[in-house]
């Protein structure tokens, strides 16, 4: 048999330990599919004494992960440290520059420095693989970059954070508020101690930037992604969504129009019957609309040791087999230069909820502002009457331009009878 592929793993946390476990437990099928054994020979992490639940004896230990890049015994470097800067970036740069293929699960690194790293990989004619960086165990990268490579893709959308999807699911099922559910999710280990990256949508935006680059064959552009998280989604809006026939999900959506590419992450109301609306709890989903293949949807586990290790090892098997694809699906010079569109040019339907004083003329004042900005209503809902008290009014608009909607909302917020900042959630087809 051919000699084993010698792998260095930097980072032995959730994913790193998962990779070692998978390579041990599934060694037989991995060897068969790779055509040779895949053997971890060197590792790096910060704390050498920590029990990681996997055997490390006989492996070369490096305190400095960047040194793995120049170990002559190592064929492939796996970066599982995380973060767009620091040791993760330095290691990936050093390994590619040394002519070693790299596998990484690091969405922040790929989203922020993916263009520069692709150049480096191309110059040194080595692979940079990152299946685990988006949607964990779902082979979303392979599906877009290889499975659908013969298609023009017009839209890619997904539930890209299991943490947010879990929080929104529990809020709906139990009628609970965001902060309360977040605290529980942290206790259960579904949300990080510092959950900002997840709940403010940054993590999903990293993944969307990667999906958009692959779907539309253009350089990755994280800074152009519009981002809004789920902090402001209330139990009341989830209940109204239910009444109107919608589910609220945090979606990442990238769409190619004639004018350019829009890429956005924000809470959406999607029709209850849309397949993606049924993806609940910690599950992720990715939907692509392709000109010849039609609509393709993948769903599964987006995080965790097992699913993420599955994606990392699939990349290692490709490398062992010599299967290689340019980082962004086409060579850097062949990528498109279609411009990104600002969020202000988005056109779609909107859900609005206002808390107003229940007195005559209030609705007329609100609808006058909407009319003056060319916004027409599809439906309006006001339940119960409590003269002089605060009541919610819910409105659903026809397709409207985001810029006009923002101006109208700021004027509505200034009306005396409007008691708090209006809630606005964009409506999507799913
Ligand atoms: N967790 C998931 O479900 C998941 C899913 C998809 C993608 N990812 C991505 O996978 C990567 C790893 O995530 P994770 O959850 O496994 O993280 P983690 O549990 O925090 O593990 C990070 C590892 O990196 C090591 N490390 C940190 N700084 C280091 C340094 N300067 N030198 C050497 N080692 C260092 C840590 O060492 P010590 O253990 O000694 O502290 C730890 O072993 C991230 O890019 C993440 O975004 C994770």
| DSSP secondary structure string for all residues of 49-114 | T---SS--TTSEEESSGGGGGG-TT-SEEEE-S--SSHHHHHHHHHHHHTT--EEE--HHHHHHHH
Q: What are the Cα distances from residue 359, in Å, to 119, 377, 416, 417?
A: 63, 21, 12, 8
HSE toward the beta carbon, residue 263, CA cutoff 13 A: 27
The range of the structural domain enclosing residue 124 comes to 5-133
* pLDDT bucket at 359, cuts 50 / 70 / 90: confident
- Residue 161 is predicted with a pLDDT of 96
Residue 48 CB less than 6 A away from ligand 1: no
Q: For the chain, how many structural domains are there in total? A: 3
Residues whose CB falls within 8 Å of the CB of residue 333, separated by 6 or more in sequence, listed in order: none
Residue 48 φ then ψ, to 5°: -70, -20
Co-location of 107 and 158 in the same domain: no
CATH of the domain at 86: 3.40.50.720
Which ligand 1 atom lies nearest to the CA of residue 64?
A: 32
Q: Categorize the per-residue pLDDT at 189 as very low, low, confident or very high, splitting at 50, 70 and 90.
A: confident
In a domain, 404, yes or no: yes
The preferred substitution site among 8, 14, 90 for testing ligand 1, maximizing ligand atoms within 8 Å of CB, is: 14
What single string gives the DSSP state of each residue in 364-395? HHHHHHHHHTT--EEEEEE----TTSEEEEEE
| Position 9 pLDDT exceeds 80 | yes
* Mean pLDDT for the stretch of residues 144-159: 97
Q: Is residue 327 part of a domain?
A: no
Please tell me whether residues 117 and 261 are part of one structural domain.
no
Q: Tens of pLDDT along 339-358?
A: 999 999 999 999 999 999 98
Token reading at 295 = 């609509």
The number of residues in the chain equals 430
- The residue among 133, 152, 170 that closes a domain is 133
* The model's pTM: 0.96
Q: Which of 117, 133, 149 is the last residue of a domain?
A: 133
* 123 lies in the same domain as 164: no
Q: Would you state the pLDDT for residue 386?
A: 77
Each residue of 369-394: pLDDT tens digit? 999 999 999 999 987 677 878 899 99
Minimum mean pLDDT range among 61-65, 223-227, 231-235, 357-361: 357-361
Cα angle 421, 223, 160; round to 5: 75
136 Cβ below 6 A of ligand 1:
yes
Tokens 């789920």 sit at which residue? 230
């Amino acid at each position: 048999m051919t000699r084993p592929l010698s792998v260095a793993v930097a980072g032995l946390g959730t994913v790193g330990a998962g990779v070692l476990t998978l390579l041990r437990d599934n060694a037989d099928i991995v060897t068969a599919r790779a055509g040779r054994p895949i053997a971890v020979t060197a590792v790096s992490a910060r704390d050498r004494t920590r029990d990681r639940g996997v055997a490390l004896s006989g492996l070369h230990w490096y305190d400095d992960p960047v040194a793995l890049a120049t170990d002559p015994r190592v064929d492939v470097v796996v970066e599982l440290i995380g973060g767009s800067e620091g040791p993760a970036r330095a290691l990936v740069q050093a390994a590619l520059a040394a002519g070693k293929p790299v596998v990484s699960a690091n969405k922040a690194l790929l989203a922020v420095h993916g263009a520069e790293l692709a150049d480096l990989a191309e110059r040194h004619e080595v692979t940079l693989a990152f299946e685990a960086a988006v949607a964990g165990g779902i082979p979303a990268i392979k599906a877009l970059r290889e499975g659908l490579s013969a298609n023009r893709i017009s839209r890619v959308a997904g539930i890209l954070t299991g943490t947010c999807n879990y929080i929104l699911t529990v809020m709906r099922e139990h009628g609970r508020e965001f902060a309360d559910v977040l605290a529980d999710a942290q206790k259960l280990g579904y949300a990080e101690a510092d959950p900002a990256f997840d709940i403010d949508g940054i993590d999903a935006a990293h993944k969307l930037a990667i999906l958009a680059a692959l779907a539309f064959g253009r350089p990755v552009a994280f800074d152009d992604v519009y981002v809004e998280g789920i902090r402001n989604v209330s139990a009341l809006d989830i209940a109204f969504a239910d009444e109107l026939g919608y589910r609220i999900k945090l979606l990442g959506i990238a769409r190619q129009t004639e004018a350019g590419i829009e890429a956005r992450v924000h809470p959406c109301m999607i029709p209850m019957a849309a397949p993606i609306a049924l993806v609940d709890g910690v599950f992720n989903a990715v939907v692509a609309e392709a000109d010849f293949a039609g609509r393709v949807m993948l769903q599964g586990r987006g995080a965790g040791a097992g699913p993420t290790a599955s994606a990392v090892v699939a990349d290692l098997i490709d490398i062992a087999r010599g299967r290689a694809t340019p980082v962004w699906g086409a060579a850097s010079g062949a990528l498109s230069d279609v411009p990104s569109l600002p969020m202000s040019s988005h056109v779609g339907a909107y859900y609005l909820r206002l808390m107003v004083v229940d007195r005559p003329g209030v609705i007329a004042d609100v609808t006058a502002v909407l009319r003056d900005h060319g916004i027409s209503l599809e439906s309006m809902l006001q339940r119960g009457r409590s003269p002089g008290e605060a009541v919610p009014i819910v409105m659903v608009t026809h397709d409207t331009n985001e810029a006009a909607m923002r101006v109208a909302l700021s004027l509505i917020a200034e009306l005396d009878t409007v008691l708090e900042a209006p809630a606005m959630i964009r409506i999507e087809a799913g």
